[in-house]
């Protein structure tokens, strides 16, 4: 049975930081 | 104006959203995808050395110009309220704080994945990830 890491379920939204 | 970026999620549903999929939390605990709670994500992110949880508020949901099977969801991410739009299949589930899995078309999500799901709406606050110490 495959086991998936928790973070694969969460979209990775990394905005460009302006400061 | 806030910075804007755009992300396209691959046009297939990942296998880990299917009901019964086994998910490993950061502390090693195993849970089924449909049993995950907001605290599981928060606690896992606290353990993680690289990732942190950000709040992403749904600002707009509209149909994709590419295909009727897709939707474009615009988020306001983190304390900087950066605008990020994501093009996803309408059945693609997001985890809403305190609520659980939600998608643009929960009927399709339940039909295709058997994952219990509610309707994603403008104003919902979704769990997303960014890198720690990103600056």
For the segment B69-127, what is each residue's pLDDT rounded down to a tens digit?
A: 999 999 999 888 999 999 999 999 999 999 999 999 999 999 999 999 999 999 999 99
pLDDT tens track for B27-39: 999 999 999 999 9
Asked if B26 and B44 count as a contact pair (C-beta separation under 8 A), the reply is yes
pLDDT digits 0-9 by tens, A1-19 = 899 999 999 988 776 554 4
Q: How many CB pairs under 8 A join A and B?
A: 92
Contact B22 A13 (CB under 8 A): no
Mutate to test the interface with A, among B33, B82, B97, B109 (most CBs of A within 10 A): B82
Which residue's entry shows tokens 């949880």? Answer: B53
CA atoms of B48 and B36, how far apart (whole Å): 17
Q: Answer whether residue B50 shows pLDDT above 70.
A: yes
Q: Do A8 and B130 touch (CB under 8 A)?
A: no
pLDDT at residue A12, as a whole number: 80
State what percent of residues in chain B have pLDDT above 90: 73
Question: Which residue reads 């399709």 in tokens?
Answer: B108
CA angle (B18, B9, B40) in 5-degree steps: 50
Query: What are the Cα distances from residue B132, in Å, to A17, B8, B82?
Result: 12, 23, 16
């Amino acid at each position: 049975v495959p086991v998936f890491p928790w973070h694969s379920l969460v979209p990775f939204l990394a905005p460009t930081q302006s400061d | 104006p806030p910075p804007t970026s755009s992300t396209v999620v691959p046009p297939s549903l990942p296998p880990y959203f299917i009901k019964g999929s086994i998910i490993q939390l950061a502390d090693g605990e195993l849970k089924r995808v449909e049993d995950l709670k907001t605290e599981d994500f928060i606690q896992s992110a606290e353990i993680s050395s690289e990732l942190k949880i950000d709040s992403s508020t749904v600002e707009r949901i509209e149909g994709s110009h590419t295909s009727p099977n897709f939707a474009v969801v615009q988020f306001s991410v983190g304390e900087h309220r950066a605008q990020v739009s994501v093009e996803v299949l309408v059945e693609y589930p997001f985890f809403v704080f305190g609520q659980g899995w939600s998608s643009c078309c929960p009927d399709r999500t339940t039909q295709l994945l058997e994952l219990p799901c509610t309707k994603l709406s403008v104003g919902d606050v979704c769990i997303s990830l960014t890198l720690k110490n990103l600056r």
